[in-house]
A and B are shown apart, each in its own frame.
Chain A
Amino acid sequence: MTTFDLNDDSVVVIIGSGAGGGTLGNELAQRGAKVVVLEAGGRHEIADFVNDEWASFTQLAWSDTRTTGGSWRVAKDFPNLPAWIVKAVGGSTTHWAGASLRFAEHEFRTRTHYGAIEGANLADWPITLAELEPYYARAEDKMGVTGTNGIPRLPGNNNYKVLAAGAKKLGYKEFHTGNMAINSEPRADRASCHQLGFCFQGCKMGAKWSTLYTEIPAGEETGRLEVRPNSMAIRIEHDAAGRATGVVYADAEGRQQRQRARVVSVAGNSIESPRLLLNSASAKFPDGMANSSGQVGRNYMRHTTGSVYAVFDRPVHMYRGTTMAGIIRDESRHDPKRGFAGGYELETLSLGVPFMAAFLEPGAWGRGFTSAMDAYDRMAGLWIVGEDLPQERNRITLDSKVKDRNGMPVASVHFDDHRNDLAMRDHAYQQGRALYEAVGATRTFETTPYPSTHNLGTNRMSANARDGVVDKWGKAHDLPNLYVSDGSQFTSGAACNPTLTIVALAIRQAEHIAGRMARGEV
Chain B
Amino acid sequence: MREVDKRTTVRRRVFLRGAATAPAAAAAVAAGMTIAPNAAWAADLKAVKPNTMTVLARAARDIYPHDQLADRYYIAAVLPYDDQAAKDAALKSLLEEGAAQLDAEAKKRFGRDYIRVGSEEQRVQVLQAVEKSAFFQKLRGDLVVSLYNQKEVWPKLGYEGSSYEHGGYIRRGFDDIDWLPEA
Contact = CB atoms under 8 A, between A and B. Distances in A.
Contacts of A165: 180-183
Nearest to B23: A58
A54 B170 contact: no
Contacts of A168: 183
A205 B168 contact: yes
A317 B149 contact: no
A374 B66 contact: yes
Interface string A307-339: 000000011110111000000000000000000
A476 to B, nearest CB: 39
Interface stretch (B28-36, B86-94, B104-112, B159-167): B159-167
A321 B175 CA distance: 8
A266 interface: no
Given A354-B148, A439-B180, A374 B157 contact: yes
B164 A320 contact: no
B144 interface: yes
B7 to A, nearest CB: 15
Interface in A364-420: 365-367, 369-370, 373-374, 376-378
Given A52-B162, A317-B158, A370 B65 contact: yes
A353 B155 CA distance: 10
A121 interface: no
A358 B144 contact: yes
Q: Majority SS of interface residues in chain B?
A: loop
A319 B86 CA distance: 39
B9 interface: no
Given A194-B167, A439-B181, A317 B173 contact: yes
B170 A367 contact: no
Interface residues of B, number: 43
Interface in A339-357: 352-354, 356-357
Contacts, number: 138
Interface stretch (A21-29, A153-161, A211-219, A295-303): A153-161
Contacts of B162: 50-52, 198
Contact of A319 (B147, B159, B170, B177): B159
Nearest to A175: B183
A423 B58 CA distance: 42
A197 interface: yes
Contact of B20 (A54, A317, A319): A54
A204 interface: yes
Nearest to B147: A357
A194 B175 contact: no
Interface residues on A, range: 35 or more
A378 to B, nearest CB: 8
B155 to A, nearest CB: 10
A68 interface: no
B3 to A, nearest CB: 7
B154 interface: yes
B153 interface: yes
Contacts of A356: 148
B64 A55 contact: no
A195 B149 contact: no
A145 interface: no
B183 A197 contact: no
Contact of A164 (B157, B158, B174, B183): B183
B116 interface: no
A162 interface: yes
A55 B4 CA distance: 23
Interface string B10-51: 000000000011000000000000000000000000000000
A517 interface: no
B164 A198 contact: yes
B63 interface: yes
B124 interface: yes
Nearest to A158: B177
B168 A197 contact: yes
Contact of B179 (A314, A317, A370): A314
Contacts of A367: 65
Counting chain A CB atoms within 10 Å of each CB, the highest count among B149, B162, B183 belongs to B183
Contact of A196 (B1, B168, B176, B183): B168
A319 B148 contact: no
Contacts of A50: 162
A193 B175 CA distance: 14
A377 B174 contact: no
Contact of B148 (A161, A169, A353): A353
Contact of A373 (B66, B124, B164, B167): B66
Contacts of B176: 158, 317
Nearest to A313: B179
29 contacts: A51-B161, A51-B164, A58-B20, A58-B21, A157-B174, A158-B174, A161-B177, A165-B180, A165-B183, A193-B170, A194-B167, A194-B170, A195-B174, A315-B1, A315-B3, A319-B159, A320-B160, A320-B173, A354-B20, A356-B148, A357-B144, A370-B65, A370-B66, A373-B64, A373-B66, A373-B157, A374-B68, A374-B157, A377-B157
Given A161-B180, A165-B183, A353-B154, 15 more contacts: A50-B162, A164-B183, A194-B167, A195-B169, A195-B170, A317-B177, A320-B163, A320-B174, A352-B159, A352-B161, A354-B145, A373-B66, A373-B157, A377-B159, A439-B181
9 interchain residue pairs of minimum CB distance: A377-B158, A194-B168, A321-B174, A51-B162, A357-B148, A54-B20, A320-B169, A164-B183, A196-B168
